[in-house]
Amino acid sequence: MPTSHAISRVDEQTPLIAPPTSQETGPSSGASMSSALFWKVGALSGALAVGLGAFGAHGLKKRIADPAKLANWGTAAHYQLIHSVAILLAHNHPVPATLFAAGTALFSGSIYALTLDTERFRFLGPVTPLGGLLLIGGWVALAFAKGGPPPRWPRF
């Protein structure tokens, strides 16, 4: 099989995603420690979001009866999951990835804490909108990130 990405014949042995060439890997390709770190942060944040969402849907109902608080927990888990994917998408772009990671921690984290104990974590109330602004900033930064979407993604 030729080493280029052009595949002239498709059969059961043809990979769905072409493996990277030596020019696309290694330190000179833009792959960096921060890119790998953001990838791990995004993936672990996604796993945590699923776990916290499940806890909110099942275990938290035993501790909290207020439907508004339960809905807030669901919102926090929902935003965390969406922005975990955003971190994965932006892992090669440090500014938007940092904004997404920080915004997720502040936005979702403050909502989780306020849901569990509003009085104890009241000081986190102003942190929630700050986290939201960071999330918005992450999307704006991603829109203007150098290089745009990864080369194998469709461009619209």
Find how far residue 23's CA is from the centre of its chain.
27
Single-letter code of the amino acid located at 14: T
Tens of pLDDT, residue by residue over 94-112, are 999 999 999 999 999 999 9
Predicted pLDDT of residue 155: 59
**The pLDDT of residue 26:** 42
Report the 10 Å Cβ neighbour count for 39: 16
| 12-23 residue pLDDT tens | 666 655 555 544
- The whole-number pLDDT of residue 62 equals 87
The confidence score (pLDDT) of residue 40 equals: 96
Q: How far apart are alpha carbons 105 and 29 in whole angstroms?
A: 29
**Cα separation, 142 vs 81, whole angstroms:** 18
> Is residue 64 left, alpha or beta, with left meaning phi > 0 and alpha meaning psi from -120 to 50?
beta
In angstroms, how far is the first alpha carbon of the chain from the final one?
A: 31
Separation CA 5–CA 19 (nearest Å): 8
**Low-confidence residues of the chain, pLDDT below 70?**
1-31, 149-156
Largest CA distance in the chain: 65
pLDDT of residue 21: 52
The ranges assigned to domains in the chain are 50-143
Determine the pLDDT at residue 28.
42
